[in-house]
Amino acid sequence: MSTVTKLTTESELPASDEAKEFPCGSKTICVANVNGTFSAMDNVCLHRGGPLGQGMIEGGKVICPWHGWAWDVKTGAAEQNPGVKVAVYPLKIQNGEVLIEI
């Protein structure tokens, strides 16, 4: 069963082509801004546990700062191994609040 939760405010979202980390209950969420489109995914890189929200955006993907694994912001698939995926969550911006469905 999914739950809609306030993640942050619209003013705190990352700038275009940047990623940022946000706490959400027991998880940390990576929000990526790819050309003005926001996506949310688990913040932990499945390769070696790196913090995706501290990475860069290249070619529409979040690049893990530890070992360079690239993650598709829409599907959560790793470029290096498409069978490996991080969870991706729907985001909605409503009245200046950013809501996430987990």
Range of the domain at 81: 4-101
Q: Where are the beta strands (DSSP E) in the chain?
A: 4-9, 18-24, 27-34, 37-42, 56-58, 61-63, 70-72, 88-89, 91-94, 97-101
CA distance 20 to 79: 20
Q: What is the pLDDT of residue 18?
A: 98
Give the chain's domain count. 1
Q: Which of 97, 90, 102 is nearest to 9 (CA)?
A: 97
CATH of the domain at 15: 2.102.10.10
Q: What is the pLDDT of residues 52-75, one digit of tens each?
A: 999 999 999 999 999 999 999 999
- Taking only the tens of pLDDT, the chain with its 102 residues reads 789 999 999 999 999 999 999 999 999 999 999 999 999 999 999 999 999 999 999 999 999 999 999 999 999 999 999 899 999 999 999 999 999 999
